[in-house]
Amino acid sequence: MISSKKEKILRERMEKFGIKESDLIEKFIRASGKGGQKINKTSSSVYLKHVPTGIEVKMDKERSQVLNRFFARRALTDKIEDIQLGR
């Protein structure tokens, strides 16, 4: 699970860089790779697209959809931060 402190920090970062939940397209897809039957039956992989910038992220790092949603949002925020700060 993700601590409420980490969730709060992510929400604050998203707000700082102007990322709104309403600007995100989120889809859940079946992950690939190791995991056996569980992976083949559940849609734990997360696809996010930030409509204003067109940036897309796919996350299937974990077997948990909740964790993948968090990591996808964090990765998207990292990309937008890099662009806005000119990195």
Cα gap 41→31, rounded to integer Å = 9
Structural domain range at position 44:
4-84
Q: What is the mean pLDDT of residues 45-72?
A: 93
The total number of structural domains in the chain stands at: 1
pLDDT at residue 29, rounded to an integer: 86
Q: Which residues contact 64 (CB under 8 A, 6 or more apart)?
A: 44
3-state helix, strand and coil shares in percent for the chain, rounded to the nearest 5:
45, 20, 35
Nearest Cα residue to 20 out of 43, 61, 52: 52
User: What CATH number is associated with residue 44?
Assistant: 3.30.160.20
| Range of lowest pLDDT (21-25, 30-34, 57-61, 69-73) | 30-34
Give dist(CA 17, CA 6) in Å, integer.
17
